[in-house]
């Protein structure tokens, strides 16, 4: 998994740290670009998955757009050279400051989630003498079959505009002169591994499109969001996610009208497998059923196991001998600060390096300074001396 040069390098760095495998990362971007390019689909990178400058710069150079969910993300995308006309701005609660910032930069699209938001964007755009391009984020009521914290496309979720509000919105759009409807937007959830879920989304989008056609509204853009899951069990398998199958499915099942462009907002699947969290064992102690391997990374560096009971493969990359079971836990004063229970690893001792895999998405970017811990640094395979 790692070369001996990499492991020697790791031994010279202060742990914990994030480690990004740049060749893998670029290959992955190439695959996405080619698979989407076949159909002329537009891919925006969902910056929330990882806003690391170096990775973002590469994503921009590959020609992907940006999907932002805060004013700071919009600003960062612009600072790093993403074209404003390739920036979509989503989010259920955009502040006045964020709306004005996005208006000042003439972004591609505000993905709007409520009637009140439409009214406010229209009002602010009017004050600036601008016409804002907007897309309606529609709640399609499609079940993503994923963890309930990362399910977003059900009527019970806070996201999007529900079907029963459509007529009112169409009326509103007729009277508002400073917003221009360019499309509709969906995002049903994250870490979706069953492609049938996306098929269900396509079927729902087709139904919803009929409504707009019947109301003589031409939509230039359909944005189906992100959500494609990755294989956390097999971090070294590089044929998953299957981007070819993913985009092919939309080509087969989503009925685009002539001239319409289909957009995606891919976050996790672009970056997840490119990163690992490297941590060192501080102490090993015996528990009732297993041993505890207490490592120097905690939920402050990777919150996914604590927050979503997420699985990340854990490997001892120092020791090659023996086998035992460990609860791999961090130093934070919370019982949820556990990376994995009853993890089978080679015999583990103080000082060993442990790799927590597939943390490129929603790892570094969700870090916190809880317990006043320092933020962990990032290192890159192409910078190893």
Contact residues for ligand LLP (CB under 6 A)? 46, 48-49, 67, 90, 150, 187, 190-191, 225-228, 265-269, 304, 308, 362
Nearest residue (CB) to ligand LLP, 2 versus 45 = 45
CA 305 to chain centroid: 16
For residue 359, report the phi and psi dihedrals to the nearest 5 degrees.
-110, 10
Q: How far is the CB of 272 from ligand LLP (least distance, A)?
A: 8
Instruction: Give the CA distances from residue 29 to residues 51, 62, 237, 303, in Å, rounded to whole numbers and listed in that order.
Output: 16, 7, 16, 25
Euclidean distance between CA atoms 165 and 73, whole angstroms:
29
Q: How far is the CB of 271 from ligand LLP (least distance, A)?
A: 9
Nearest residue (CB) to ligand LLP, 140 versus 267 = 267
Q: How far is the CB of 192 from ligand LLP (least distance, A)?
A: 7
Nearest residue (CB) to ligand LLP, 21 versus 48 = 48
Q: How far is the CB of 363 from ligand LLP (least distance, A)?
A: 8
Q: How far is the CB of 288 from ligand LLP (least distance, A)?
A: 31
Q: How far is the CB of 77 from ligand LLP (least distance, A)?
A: 14
Nearest residue (CB) to ligand LLP, 150 versus 154 = 150
Nearest residue (CB) to ligand LLP, 87 versus 345 = 87
Which of 177, 161, 315, 329 is closest to 236 using CA atoms? 315
Nearest residue (CB) to ligand LLP, 26 versus 147 = 147
Nearest residue (CB) to ligand LLP, 113 versus 296 = 113
Euclidean distance between CA atoms 302 and 114, whole angstroms:
32
Determine if the peptide bond prior to 241 is cis (ω within 30°): yes
Q: How far is the CB of 361 from ligand LLP (least distance, A)?
A: 6
Long-range contacts of 52-59 (CB under 8 A, 24+ apart): 52/20, 52/364, 52/365, 52/378, 53/80, 54/20, 54/378, 54/380, 55/20, 55/25, 55/271, 55/274, 55/360, 56/80, 57/81, 58/22, 58/25, 58/26, 58/29, 59/29, 59/270
Nearest residue (CB) to ligand LLP, 228 versus 293 = 228
Q: Are 227 and 194 in contact (CB under 8 A)?
A: no
Q: How far is the CB of 384 from ligand LLP (least distance, A)?
A: 28
């Amino acid at each position: 998994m790692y070369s001996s040069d990499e492991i020697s390098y790791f031994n010279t760095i202060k742990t914990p740290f994030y480690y990004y495998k740049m060749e893998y990362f670029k290959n992955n971007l190439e695959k996405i670009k080619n698979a989407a390019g076949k159909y002329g689909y537009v891919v925006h990178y969902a910056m929330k998955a990882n806003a690391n400058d170096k990775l973002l710069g590469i994503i921009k150079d590959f020609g992907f757009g940006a999907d932002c969910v805060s004013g700071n993300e919009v600003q960062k995308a612009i600072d790093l050279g993403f074209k404003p006309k390739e920036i979509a701005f989503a989010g259920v609660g955009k502040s006045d400051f964020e709306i004005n910032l996005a208006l000042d930069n003439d972004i591609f699209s505000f993905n709007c989630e409520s009637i009140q938001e439409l009214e406010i964007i229209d009002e602010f755009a009017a004050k600036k003498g601008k016409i804002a391009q907007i897309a309606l984020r529609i709640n399609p009521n499609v079940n993503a079959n994923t963890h309930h914290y990362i399910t977003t496309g059900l009527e019970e979720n806070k996201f999007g505009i529900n079907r029963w509000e459509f007529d009112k919105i169409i009326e509103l759009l007729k009277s508002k002169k400073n917003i221009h409807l360019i499309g509709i937007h969906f995002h049903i959830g994250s870490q979706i591994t069953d492609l049938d879920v996306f098929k269900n989304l396509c079927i729902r989008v087709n139904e919803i499109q009929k409504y707009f056609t019947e109301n003589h509204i031409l939509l230039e853009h359909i944005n189906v969001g992100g959500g494609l899951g990755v294989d956390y069990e097999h971090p070294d398998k590089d044929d998953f996610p299957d981007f070819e199958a993913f985009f092919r499915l939309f080509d087969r099942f989503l009925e685009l009208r002539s001239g319409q462009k289909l957009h995606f907002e891919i976050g996790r699947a672009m970056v997840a497998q490119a990163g690992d969290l490297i941590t060192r064992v501080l102490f090993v102690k015996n528990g009732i059923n297993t041993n505890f391997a207490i490592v120097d990374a905690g939920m402050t560096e990777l919150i996914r196991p604590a927050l979503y009971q997420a699985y990340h493969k854990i490997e001892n990359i120092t020791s090659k001998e023996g086998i035992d079971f460990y609860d791999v836990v961090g130093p934070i004063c919370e019982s949820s600060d556990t990376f994995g229970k009853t993890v089978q690893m080679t015999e583990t001792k103080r000082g060993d390096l442990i790799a927590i895999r597939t943390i490129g998405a929603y790892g570094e970017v969700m870090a916190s300074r809880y317990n006043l811990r320092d933020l962990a640094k990032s290192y890159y395979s192409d910078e190893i001396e």
